[in-house]
Amino acid sequence: MKCSGIKQMDKQPFPSKGILFKNLDLNLEQVLNKLGTEQKSEIYAYVLSTVSFAKDKNQFVQKGSAPNFQGDYITLCTCKHYMRSRRSVADWKNVWIAGFTSHEQGEYCLFYLMQVEAAFGSFREIWENNLLSESTKQAKNASKNSMGDLFPPLPLTKGNDFSFRSYQKPIEGHVHLPKDWHNDVKYKMLGNHAPVLVGNPKFSFLWTKPLIVFSSSRKQHRGHWRYSDLQRFSSDLKESPAA
């Protein structure tokens, strides 16, 4: 018998209600209209390895834990460790992140875009903070969801926030078992642990299918790349011919 609240998923479900649902599958003009003055902030972009396209359903499939878009928030906590460690916790606020699918469709397709509302120094900090509601935390709880991206801290382990032994082990079958989650907890580069990031729901956008694509002549991207502001970023985007 399965325990109540335990979820074994083969993909992350897209939102069916809430603000992320309202910001689902917008065209480029609609997104830019919503952004307004927020276009002045710096943006990091990268290609996701966990998102594919199911042609039979005409829909993207996210089989990874990051970005995690459960619980009406987009979070980036278990991927892009090196990119996240490039800035301090305080320096991530209001920065934008864009994730593109791979080139399998002949185009890099925009999958998600979010402005960082808050960054936290560890999984304990994000779990013990009140920004995310209890229901959102549980929707992202890796000990209950096979694609969860939050690791709940164990009691009496405070002070050792970068050891996997301080957190509940992910559910059996989790995408980061057996040991990838250890790195999620402890990753450190250039003297910085990788902050865990929470998007502002008002400025978080998801796409279920190829609607906006990368139009630059650059053929391949590794790691991540940056833009000084969203206006320059948007100049490298176009509507998909299939939209």
**At 36, is the pLDDT very low, low, confident or very high (cuts 50, 70, 90)?**
confident
Model pTM?
A: 0.92
Band of the pLDDT at 14, cuts 50, 70, 90? very high
User: How far is residue 164 from each of residues 58, 79, 136, 153, measured CA to CA in Å?
Assistant: 38, 16, 22, 9
Q: Write the pLDDT tens digit of every residue in 73-118.
A: 999 999 999 999 999 999 999 999 999 998 766 789 999 999 999 9
Cα-only R_g, the chain: 17
Q: How confident is the model at residue 230 (pLDDT cuts 50, 70, 90)?
A: confident
The Cα 35–Cα 210 span in angstroms is 20
The pLDDT assigned to 46 comes to 94
**3-class SS at 24?**
strand
Q: Name the pLDDT band for 221 (thresholds 50, 70, 90).
A: low
Q: Determine the average pLDDT of the residues in 173-202.
A: 96
| Tens digits of residue pLDDT in 45-76 | 999 999 999 988 889 999 999 999 999 999 99
**pLDDT for residue 218:** 54
pLDDT of residue 2: 41
**Residue 197 near residue 119 (C-beta atoms within 8 A):** yes
Q: Where are the domains of the chain?
A: 19-239
**How far apart are alpha carbons 90 and 138 in whole angstroms?**
26
> What mean pLDDT is predicted for residues 107-133?
96
Give the residue with greater pLDDT, 143 vs 217: 143
Per-residue confidence band for 5, with pLDDT thresholds at 50, 70 and 90 = low
Average pLDDT, integer, range 137-159: 94
- pLDDT value of residue 243: 61
State the alpha helices, DSSP H only, in 56-144: 81-85, 123-128, 134-139
Lowest mean pLDDT among 39-53, 70-84, 115-129, 181-195: 39-53
Distances (CA, A) of 239 to 29, 126, 139, 210: 9, 36, 32, 9
Amino acid 1: pLDDT: 32
For the cut 90, the answer to whether the pLDDT of residue 220 exceeds it is no
Is residue 64 classed as helix, strand or coil in its secondary structure? coil
Nearest Cα residue to 190 out of 87, 68, 100, 67? 87
What mean pLDDT do residues 215-231 have?
Answer: 74
Average pLDDT over residues 20-36: 93
- pLDDT value of residue 80: 96
Distance CA 39, CA 233 (A): 9
Residue 27 has pLDDT above 90, yes or no: yes
